[in-house]
Amino acid sequence: MRGAGWKAPFWKLGWSPGEVKDVGRARVKATTSEDGGAFRRWHDDGHLPEGVSMLAQGWVRSDKGRVRESNQDRYYCDGDVGVFAVADGMGGRAGGEVASERAVRLVEEAAMEFRALADAHAVGEDEAGREAMFEALTRFMHRVNTEVYQLGNQPAYPGGIGTTLDLVVLGAGVAYVAHVGDSRVYLMREGAIYRITRDHTFEQHLRDHPELRAHYPDAARYTHVLTRCIGSAPHVEVDTALVELEEGDRILMCSDGLTRYLSGAEIATFERHARGEALVKGLLEASLSRGGRDNVTAMVVEISEIEAGDFQRHPTRRDSLDKVELLRGLELFEELDVPELLKVVRYVYVREFRAGEQLVRRGDEVDGLYLIVSGEVSVRLAGRELNRVKAGGYFGELALFGEPVRSADACGEEDGEALFLSRDHLRELVTEDPALGNKVLLRLLAGASRLLQEIAGASA
């Protein structure tokens, strides 16, 4: 079925219900009817694996809307292999449907490669494996951009062509996300909704840089003016994110034809009262009833079973959304939104400590920044307390900008929990997303300045 999109249930792939095939390092069994698009994965011995089993199902609807003459949205929904995509061709440009069609076709061709790579790094705590997956997704998005850009240089498209592209690949208890444009990816969990992606629009740029708003008083005019898209330039920056999944989670992927009419809170209300096909139908009908001035696509992927290893089941383990909530409670990150926090989450690790435990010793090599989530830590120099760090505070910022060794001791005063951001990972964050990295660095510098003033006051 091609046209407004592409869905690949297992019968389209030449599978029959109950059939088992090798996909990457795992075995895949088609477990639902033709309409389903569900999959179950095993190790090669045919048993439910310790860490590599997931059951997912996707539903999707797309419509040209009430005004547009054609539908330039395209999608790919392959629950059998766990790969999903939504592309919105740029409506103001001739050939928008050509751009989105090519992008989705390339996703289809690469789907099995993504599956094999995700299976090869099936351990969810494998940092190197996760980064390899991000690199592969980024390289793929760059390849798509190159092909669409070259298409747009043909005489048939004097104004060029372009498309948004959101890509989700399911791994061992996780979803890898790659994003360019203003289509969106949301995670819905237990009645709450989390926006995973940030819009690459000029309106969002004005929000990020309020000093510019005086020059653009009518910011709403720029809601759908893209600052990034696939195919408009030889190179494009790609956002990536990782979300650790729980049973019952639902991923919503949609074009801006939906989100221009429905807020996240309204989408969450629909999600509380409908599932599967009824949910995507309800979302589409709501956007059409409110105007339908653009093409609209809504895809929902439901995770109904996860076996993702002991790390996933451990009751005290913090997943990515837990870490987002912890970061939200820290002064250093209070101005960041969820997509930005998810980028930070990639680089922070949870560390528990006990009362009396030495976290840092003077003269140790600098390792990074400690963000206190609970408990208290005393920072001391020559036996004198310089600072008492409580929940919401942090220490180690001076070392990030100064000498290669610690200048003071840090000891737990109460049992607690900290998030740790290494100096190397902070550099990676700044390199990958300079705007976000600079936000964090400016807050760190402000905190370091306050600390130096306090130390100077105490010494006077």
pLDDT at position 423, please?
84
* Domains assigned to the chain: 6-313 (3.60.40.10), 320-459 (2.60.120.10)
The overall pTM is greater than 0.85: no
Residue 22: the pLDDT is: 56
Give the end-to-end CA distance of the chain in Å, rounded to a whole number: 76
Q: What pLDDT, on a 0 to 100 scale, did the predictor assign at position 459?
A: 57
H-helix segments, 184-313: 202-208, 256-259, 264-273, 276-289, 310-313
Report the alpha-carbon distance of residue 295 to residue 280 in Å, rounded. 14
Check residue 5 and give its pLDDT.
42
* Three-state secondary structure call for residue 393: coil
Strand duo 20-23 + 26-29: pairing:
antiparallel
* Beta bridge partner(s), residue 84: 77, 168
Q: What is the pLDDT of residue 118?
A: 85
> Strands 6-7 and 73-78: what pairing?
parallel
| Low-confidence residues of the chain: pLDDT under 50 | 1-15, 24-27, 29-52, 123-124, 310-316
Angle at 418 between CA 421 and CA 392, to 5 degrees: 100
